[in-house]
Chains A and B, each alone.
Chain A
Amino acid sequence: MNQPVLHPDGSAAESAANSPVGGTSLWHDAWKRLRKNRVAAGSGVVLLMLAAACLVGPAVIAATWGYDYETQDLASGARPPSWSHPFGTDFYGRDLLTRVLYGGRVSLTVGLLAAVVAATVGTVYGAVSSYAGGMIDSLMMRVVDILYALPYMFLVIILVTILGKSLLLVFLALGAVGWLLTARIVRGQVMSLKEQDFVLAARSLGTSSRDIIFRHLIPNTLGPVIVTFTLTVPSMILQEAFLSFLGLGVQAPRPSLGALINDGANQMLVFWWTLAFPGAVMAVMLFALNFLGDGVRDALDPRMKH
């Protein structure tokens, strides 16, 4: 075993890489444990492969076979899977594999980004509200109630009217509601956590409220936050489909995974493959995401070291 190496310049990354002592931070430890978890590591690889396929797939298909997500071939419309079209074709003869990959790119980006923003905003909001307590907590939570209750659909319609259609607006619309559940869940967790001894200990050592919230309370809520995050991703993807139905978001002929699943559901008894393949890709993505999430949760749980 190496001797611990001291780095006078204090570069953390370097010392973590070179010495076993440098890397005892929560995150480094977690990363080591995560890589040892076969289910989680496998899920991570699946997710990366899926993302890579969505990213380069449409371009490769366009270069090799010469069609993209909107190339129509009415003569071979609505064909079941075959060698030339592994996922079959849709009603207009568009290659479903290309559309699923292209739609997957849109949905994966929108779903993950919106869920990351929702989880971050919701966690900080919920933790601050709960830790502050009293009037501040009341005020912050009533804001959440109000946002929950306002008719979201009209909010979207008005936003589109005022600001026009843009990708930024899709995130705004998704973000406006995405963080509420996380905020309420984190607040509930922190209400219990903040009464525990480690918080009292931190406070009696003179730790600032800010440090207590960010270094002691929030890390202890990460388990439920990760679970909520993995629940938010699919709901954001389906929500995006609803937004494009309202005229916001990805518009036809450009596909998104949510929109493809919606279309497929309408004709699943006639053209089963138009639902089966987009649905399967979504399911694989969610499985991988959830098992990776569970792995991250386990890796971050200091009580699971043994």
Chain B
Amino acid sequence: MKAYVIRRVLELIPTALIIVLGSFALVRLAPGSPFSSEKEIPPEVRRQLDAKYGFDKPLPEQFLRYLGNLLRGDLGPSTKYPQRSVNEIIGDGFPVSLTLAGVALVWSLLVGVTAGIIGAVRQNTIWDHAAMGAALVGISIPSFVLGPLLVLIFALRLHLLPPAGWGDWRHVILPGLTLGTIYAASIARLTRGGMLEVVRSDFIRTARAKGLSERLVIWRHMLRGGLLPVVSYLGPAIASMLTGSVVVEKIFNVPGIGPYFVDAAFNRDYFLVMGIVLLYAFFLLLLNLVVDVAYGFLDPRIEYP
């Protein structure tokens, strides 16, 4: 396994390079420029701005300079917020998005896996239909509807939690639940589907035959074998939770990095877009590596390729 992990980490170097190059190309080749969005700028000012950020150089040269700075950990300046560097913006917003992602992840796993187990163990009974019906409600309700709905109930009617903002733990709950519910619903469906693939396997029959309690059979054998699809799903899902949700952070006025991305994309804030894209890519590569290693722990039959 050690050899596998080492090889897998080495593979990440060319992969990451291609991602940096590919996203740089996509972001820069899209029509528009950081200074063309609002009012007309005099050509002279425009030329100075381009020179200030190095946009007057040929693209390959700009790319090499960006890559050099990136390797030193410098993500560059923001053209939309000239007083702040991309490092500062991400540094401020990331802890907020991370906190939110933590709550969302715990909530989604707790609810999703529980509902999935109920669905699989009590397959095609009223319990199954109720659990999966609830999951489907979660899938059908987009977060831009669920968020305001939760605010209406818990903040405006019951006055239990603040409607928006960021400060203490009470601000985390509603956005965390909103974000987590979308994922919980998918996790529930995938858990049920994965477990149904193993509930009638011989190794489950063996586990029961040797007298294991039903709880142990479910938790140690069925769930482990059944979690493969969920774990595959979690790699990209956690990566996008970590880089913040545009919709949820906007609804609850949370100062995470989610809203920055769409904003930066429309303003062609090149370095900020790249910074957030690469942050997501970093977590994606890391988490998919963790997922690949986790397969072997979940299913002992899997050999590291």
Contacts and interface: CB of A to CB of B under 8 A. Distances in A.
Interface of A: 39, 133-134, 137-138, 141-142, 145-146, 148-151, 153-155, 157-158, 161, 180-181, 184-185, 187-189, 191-192, 195-196, 220, 223-224, 226-228, 230-231, 234, 238, 261-262, 265, 268-269, 275, 279, 282-283, 286-287, 290, 294, 297-298, 301, 303-304
B5 interface: no
Contacts of B273: 151, 154
A196 B140 CA distance: 37
Contacts of A283: 136-137, 140-141
A114 B132 CA distance: 24
A145 B15 contact: yes
Interface string B192-212: 111011001000000000000
Instruction: Output the residue of A145, A301, A304 with the most chain B CB within 10 A.
Output: A145
Instruction: Output the residue of B137, B186, B303 with the most chain A CB within 10 A.
Output: B186
Given A151-B273, A188-B231, A265 B200 contact: no
Interface stretch (B24-32, B59-67, B213-221): B24-32
Given A151-B273, A234-B140, A286-B139, A196 B301 contact: yes
Nearest to B281: A149
Interface stretch (B46-54, B70-78, B158-166, B232-240): B232-240
Contacts of B141: 279, 283
A161 B31 contact: yes
B22 interface: yes
A137 B26 CA distance: 26
A262 B233 CA distance: 26
Interface stretch (B82-90, B105-113, B142-150, B172-180): B142-150
Contacts of B148: 265, 268-269
A229 B161 CA distance: 37
Nearest to B152: A269
B277 A191 contact: no
A145 B285 CA distance: 7
The 6 closest A-B pairs by CB, nearest first: A227-B193, A149-B281, A283-B140, A303-B200, A154-B26, A195-B301
Contacts of B22: 146, 150
B30 A154 contact: yes
B118 interface: no
Interface string B229-259: 1011101100000000000000000000000
B60 to A, nearest CB: 18
A286 B140 contact: yes
Count class of interface residues, chain B: 35 or more
Contacts of B196: 223, 297, 301
B223 interface: no
Contacts of A191: 295, 299, 302, 305
Contacts of A138: 7-8, 11, 305
B193 A223 contact: yes
A290 B131 CA distance: 13
B23 interface: yes
Contacts of A145: 15, 19, 284-285, 288
Contacts of A226: 193
Instruction: Output the residue of A137, A161, A224, A283 with the most chain B CB within 10 A.
Output: A224
22 contacts: A133-B305, A137-B305, A146-B15, A149-B277, A149-B284, A151-B23, A158-B29, A181-B233, A184-B236, A192-B302, A196-B301, A224-B194, A224-B229, A231-B139, A231-B190, A265-B144, A265-B148, A283-B136, A283-B137, A283-B140, A283-B141, A290-B189
B260 interface: no
A149 B228 contact: no
B279 to A, nearest CB: 10
Nearest to B299: A192
Nearest to B8: A138
Instruction: Output the residue of B7, B137, B144 with the most chain A CB within 10 A.
Output: B144
